[in-house]
Chain A
Amino acid sequence: MIAFLIRRLFQAAIVMLTVALISFVLFNYVGDPINAMVGQDTSLQDREKLRQDLGLNDPIPIRFARFVANAAQGQFGLSYRTAEPVGRMILERLPATLELSLVAALFALCVGVPMGVYSGLHPKSWVSRILQAVSLIGISLPTFLIGILLILIFAVGLGVLPSFGRGETMKLGGWTTGFLTVAGLKALILPSITLGLFQLTLIMRIVRSEMLEVMRTDYVKFARARGLKSRAINFGHALKNTLVPVITITGLQLGQLIAFAIITETVFAWPGVGQLFVTSVYSADMPVMSAYLALIGFLFVTINLLVDLLYFAIDPRLRTAQAATRAA
């Protein structure tokens, strides 16, 4: 277990360093940081002096080390576009994105798993067939179109839900939340459905196929022969054994959700990190892009690591397998 943990941590560190290196190259070699800081009429000597003062003439390994040290403290310099500190810009917008992703993930799980269980238990019923057809559409529709359609129906047509922004938010320390006001919660509905729909169909399909497989196994047949209630069989025995792939996918999809939030945030004018990233791509704002890259890389690596650790908590076979290899 500990050896496994150390190996995984080591791999995570390597991936993180690679991401930091790409981020460093973007930050330093694409576009000139000096050009972004000074006016047009700054003389060459002044530029050279500034370069020296900022340490841009130091050897590359030293600059990279300094970059990593700064990044670890959330310092990514100033935005080329707004001249604000990038770290603060991202921190201000992070709560919006995290809340949106969290609600979308919960929505996908809480609706997707029951739908998958149902259509796995009754694969031939007409409800399952409809769910299957709907999930095909959910997978082929691009995210931004789902958002546009929802806006067209619920905001333009029925006029019941807001189509942009976070509604009313409250400040809790450094964190702005939309969870505590009615307007904030209402504003969350359409974006989180848009963001979670793809994950929902994915989770539903996985749970369905896993359930179909598990229901055919011997231990489920024996459980039935022992006269257990079908609810105990379905949830206590069958569903429990489908959880490992579901957790893998959900965990990995959480990272995808944060990335796909870029699109949802643009459609719904949601003031999150994704929208900031799109604006920075549009105006080639390198400090913001490299900071976003580092942040996403960090989130991905952390999530992957947590998913790996969760396996041990859920699947006892893995623990014994580890013990067996150690004994051998």
Chain B
Amino acid sequence: MSAGGIQKGHLRDRWDRFLASDIFYSYRRSPTTVIASIVTLVFVLGAVFAPVLAPHTPFVPSSIDINDAFKPPAWSEGGAWRYLLGTDNQGRDMLSTIMYGGRLSIFVGFAAVALAMVLGILLGLSAGYLGGWYEAAIMRVADVQLTIPPILLALLIDGVARAVLPPSHKEDYASLVLVVAIGLASWPPYARVVRGATLVEKSKDYVAAARVIGVPSLAIMLRHILPNVLGPVLVIATIGLALAIIAEATLSFLGVGLPPTSPSLGTLIRVGNDFLFSGEWWITLFPALALVILSLAVNLLGDWLRDALNPKLR
């Protein structure tokens, strides 16, 4: 038997074990979760493959025609099937702009959650393991920050970045600034959960054993404790993704997020908001709908994950 064969059999075995697991069972039993996960998957795939899947290329100036501006959705009077969800003020296809916009929203969301997660895990893990005044200081900062709404902090960080960065490069760094602002504003929940779990794990025998045989602290934290505290982190990260996507949309809506030249869902809603009174409702309503469906689906996934990973509810 070749090495590849063993590898394949091993993977197959793992897959079977996954299908037989409690988590998959509770997933299969909850139709809401199945639908939510399918919706999320559709959004993520649509976003990742937007350049291939989108019917138009809305951000290539030569491919848009200003004569096609303000076309209503295809099913209403004056609409064309070429533009399924209508067009905006510059004649860009709404469906395509939403796909490209969702791409940016999801990218910023994932990156911000990743930053908050890494920061929160590192601080929470070290605080719980090392203890002492270091722990007290970090948890105090987390407590104070938790009382301030993340959106306020993100706005503040955004403003500081605007003052520090040269004005000519503002648009190039816009998505990076958003990721840092949202990420820095939302680390405390991760740190609190990880610290709590670390305190429990620290007193267990396997950690004492590792310490006795002389494993360095850093290795104990990262290789032994970390894998055992990741469950609750996953739950917070899922709900955090929905929150980060909404935070990005809010900042962009307020005009301090992504610029109209590379719009996210929030920027699209802000731009469309100007045409609300003249009756072109589709320019703002379709991106808004996309945002709500996406965040609701991710939220439902998070809710399910929290219950599925909670041993008390099994």
Give me the interface of A with B, judged by CB distance under 8 Å.
15, 18, 26, 30-31, 140-145, 148, 151-152, 156, 252, 255-256, 259-260, 262-263, 266, 277-278, 280-282, 284, 286, 289, 293, 296, 300, 304
Q: How far is the CA of A277 from the CA of B155 in the complex (A)?
A: 9
Which A residue's beta carbon lies closest to that of B296? A140
B256 at interface (Cβ–Cβ under 8 A)? yes
Selected from A26, A260, A278, A281, the residue in CB contact (under 8 A) with B162 is A281
Known: A278-B254, A278-B255. Is A145-B163 also a contact (CB below 8 A)? no
Cβ–Cβ contact B164 & A252, under 8 A? no
User: Which residues of chain A are near B160, meaning CB under 8 Å?
Assistant: 26, 30
Closest chain A residue to B270 by CB distance?
A144
- Nearest first, the 3 closest Cβ-Cβ pairs linking A and B are A281-B159, A284-B163, A284-B162
* Contact (A281, B158) CB under 8 Å given A140-B296, A286-B163: yes
Contact of A144 among B159, B253, B279 (CB under 8 A): B253
Answer yes or no: B98 CB below 8 A from chain A CBs.
Answer: no
How far, in whole Å, are A282 and B257 apart by their CA atoms in the complex? 10
Q: A284 touching B269 by the CB < 8 A rule?
A: no
New contact pairs (6) apart from A144-B269, A278-B155, CB-CB < 8 Å: A140-B292, A142-B291, A144-B250, A260-B151, A266-B253, A293-B156
Q: Are A255 and B269 in contact (CB under 8 A)?
A: no
Mark each residue of chain B from 147 to 167: 1 if its CB lies under 8 Å from any CB of chain A, else 0.
111011001101110111000
Chain B residues with a Cβ closer than 8 Å to the other chain, count:
36
- The distance in angstroms between the C-alpha atoms of A129 and B152, with both chains bound, is 34
Q: Cβ of B281 < 8 Å from any Cβ of A?
A: yes
How many contacts A-B (CB < 8 Å)? 90
Query: With the chains together, A303 CA to B77 CA distance in Å?
Result: 54
Is the CB–CB distance between B281 and A263 below 8 Å?
no
Closest CB in chain B relative to A104 CB, distance in Å = 14
Q: Out of A152, A282, A293, name the residue touching B256 (CB < 8 Å).
A: A282
A259 to B296 Cα, complex, angstroms: 23
B276, A151: Cβ atoms closer than 8 Å? yes
- Whether, in the assembled complex, B180 has its beta carbon less than 8 Å from a beta carbon of chain A, the answer is no
A142 touches B156 (CB 8 A): no
The residues in B between 289 and 303 inclusive whose CB is less than 8 angstroms from any CB of A are: 291-292, 295-296, 299
Q: Which of B147, B155, B295 contacts A281 (CB 8 A)?
A: B155
Q: Which of B152, B160, B285 has the most CB of A within 10 A?
A: B152
Query: How far is it, in angstroms, between the C-alpha of A259 and the C-alpha of B185 when the chains are bound?
Result: 14
Of all chain B residues, which has the CB nearest A145? Answer: B288
Q: Which of B147, B155, B242, B250 contacts A143 (CB 8 A)?
A: B250
Is B149 in contact with A263, judged by CB distance below 8 angstroms?
no
Among A148, A255, A293, point to the contact of B273 (Cβ < 8 A): A148
Q: Is B277 an interface residue (CB 8 A)?
A: yes
**Whole-angstrom CA separation of A145 from B294 in the bound complex:** 14
The interface residues of chain B lying within 8 Å CB-to-CB of A256 are: 149
| B245-287 interface code vs A (CB 8 A; 1 in, 0 out) | 0100110011110000000000001000100110101001100
Compute how far the CA of A31 lies from the CA of B253 in the bound complex, rounded to whole angstroms. Answer: 25
| Residue in B closest to A139 when the chains form the complex, CB atoms | B299
Give the distance in Å from the alpha carbon of A256 to the alpha carbon of B150 in the complex: 10
Task: Identify whether the interface residues of B are mostly helix, strand, loop, or mixed.
Answer: helix
Instruction: Contact check, B292 vs A259: say whether CB atoms are below 8 A apart.
Output: no
Separation of A74 and B279 alpha carbons in the complex (Å)? 45
In Å, the complex CA distance between A282 and B254 comes to: 9
B152: nearest residue on chain A (CB-CB)? A259
A304 partner, pick from B147, B164, B292, beta carbons under 8 A: B147
* Residue of A142, A156, A256, A296 ringed by the most chain B CB atoms within 10 A: A142
**In whole angstroms, what is the CA distance A70 to B149 when docked?**
27
Please measure, in the bound complex, the distance between the C-alpha atom of A296 and the C-alpha atom of B279, giving whole angstroms: 38
Which A residue sits closest to B167, measured CB to CB?
A284
CA of A151 to CA of B162, assembled, Å: 31
* CB atoms of B151 and A259 under 8 A apart: yes
- Chain B contacts of A280 at CB under 8 A? 159
Taking the complex as formed, is B209 at the interface, i.e. its CB lies under 8 A from any CB of chain A? no
Q: Does the CB pair A262–B254 fall under 8 Å?
A: yes
- Counting CB contacts under 8 A, is B313 at the interface? no
B144 on the A face (CB < 8 A)? yes
CB-based contact B246/A142 at 8 Å? yes
B3 CB to nearest A CB, Å: 49
B151 touches A31 (CB 8 A): no
Q: Which B residues touch A293, using CB under 8 A? A: 156
- Sample 28 A-B pairs with CB under 8 A, ordered by A number: A15-B144, A18-B144, A31-B163, A140-B242, A140-B295, A141-B292, A144-B269, A148-B269, A148-B276, A148-B284, A148-B288, A152-B281, A156-B279, A259-B149, A259-B151, A262-B152, A263-B151, A266-B254, A266-B255, A278-B155, A278-B256, A281-B159, A281-B254, A284-B163, A286-B163, A293-B156, A296-B152, A300-B147
